[in-house]
Amino acid sequence: MRKLPYLLPYLLPLLLAFLLAGCGKQESDLPVNTRLGGEFTLTDQNGEPFSQAALNGKVTILFFGYTHCPDICPAVLARVAQVYRQLQEAGEADQVQPVFITFDPERDTAAHLKEYLPWFKANIIGLTGSLEEIRQVAKQYGVVFIKDQQEQDYLFTHSDYIYLLDDQGRVRKLYPADFTIDEVVNDAKSLL
């Protein structure tokens, strides 16, 4: 106890630092996925080059699909739209960006994406490009897509994960197509 007065000049700054640390931004505990992701440049729904770097500064909800898909892809789009709406209600949607990348550039042209995506009312950026460009991005994100010729048309066999990226473009979490809205909302908020 006698030494306490002498220790105070050292203890007080430490105590202050400890208290201030609790007031700062809480880091998300979502781990960084170092195997997936990376930079890319595709074409957006306005026909303009779009670089992945343009997403830095925002949390990105990224998913792959095609507009001729009747089941999984519209369902995912609808769920992502719900996530976006919940974030809007919380006043945080301006920091979150949904992005849809097609693996059917033949039919999903920039013009078609521009007509298709606004209906979901989630400010979704639609990206297309050459098949080679899309194959490269799909590879970066571990996406599988295989053209499957059917009787009347062609469909795709494809993986259907949704990717949550932080404001530095790093993949932080993957979700299945039937993800829980609240889980994605809460995870996105943890990255803001």
Q: Which of 30, 54, 144, 192 binds other proteins (CB under 8 A)?
A: 144
Q: Which of 63, 84, 100, 145 binds other proteins (CB under 8 A)?
A: 145
Tell me how long the chain is.
192
| Spatial separation of the C-alpha atoms in residues 80 and 184, rounded to whole Å | 9
Q: Which is nearer to other proteins, 55 or 162 (CB)?
A: 162
Tell me if 151 contacts other proteins by CB under 8 A. Answer: yes
Kindly state the tokens that stand for 101.
């990348």
Tell me if 79 contacts other proteins by CB under 8 A. Answer: yes
Tell me if 149 contacts other proteins by CB under 8 A. Answer: no
Tell me if 33 contacts other proteins by CB under 8 A. Answer: no
Tell me if 115 contacts other proteins by CB under 8 A. Answer: yes
CA distances from 138 to 65, 112, 132, 176, 191 (A): 11, 20, 10, 16, 24
Residue 55 CB neighbour total at 10 angstroms? 18
Q: Which of 161, 59, 151 is nearest to 101 (CA)?
A: 161
| Spatial separation of the C-alpha atoms in residues 20 and 44, rounded to whole Å | 43
Tell me if 157 contacts other proteins by CB under 8 A. Answer: yes
Beta carbon of residue 89, minimum distance to other proteins (angstroms, whole number): 15
Binding residues for other proteins, rule: CB under 8 A, are 67-72, 74-75, 78-79, 82, 107, 112, 115-117, 119-120, 142, 144-146, 148, 150-153, 155-161, 177-178, 180-181
